[in-house]
Amino acid sequence: MKAYVEETESPAGPLVLAIDERGALLWLQLTDGDYERTVEQELEREGFKVGREPARTARAREELVEYCAGTRREFGLPLAMVGTEWQKAVWEALVRIPFGETRSYAEIAAMAGRPKAARAVGRANATNRLPVVVPCHRVIGADGSLSGFTGGTHLKTRLLEHEARVLAGTGPS
């Protein structure tokens, strides 16, 4: 198995993206976050041979650049969602949250078919390997608080502020 990595910018700072051999987005990591391992280390632990080929990562980079510029609100990349059926159901619900909007953990649980599983939504979000594209930053507490985000809530804040600025017409970042 091969994976191709590249670093690019995002509204939350630099990020590393990884694409698999089929061209599906395999991993995103905001490098300003607090993580135990890098994307490369995570992929190598899973048996991937990691390389760099800008032509293979071009589509993902282009879509992320468009998101950063405020010209893309939905992603069209194929996604390699690695997780349980429940996690995938949560992530599919996240993708349906419109750009610049938020939903509570309970609302996502209902969208995923388990209305009483708000806490389990939080756990599924914590294992999301594709933040920004699978927008777990758009999930907030029932009281409107910005609880939990892998890498730190400061990253969640930056992404939500970026989307609010784009919608307000005051610039991408």
Q: Which residues are catalytic?
A: 136
The order of strands in the sheet holding 15-20 is: 25-30, 15-20, 2-8, 49-51
Which two structure tokens, joined as six digits, stand for 94?
Answer: 């996240």
Considering only CA atoms, which of 146, 58, 70 is closest in space to residue 102?
146
Rounded distance between C-alpha atoms, residue 160 and residue 158, angstroms: 6
* Angle at CA of residue 54, ends 49 and 57, nearest 5°: 75
Helix (H) or strand (E) holding 61: helix 54-69
Phi and psi at residue 102, to the nearest 5° = -130, 160
> Which among 25, 22, 13 is positioned nearest to 129, based on CA atoms?
25
Contacts of 123 (CB under 8 A, 6+ apart): none
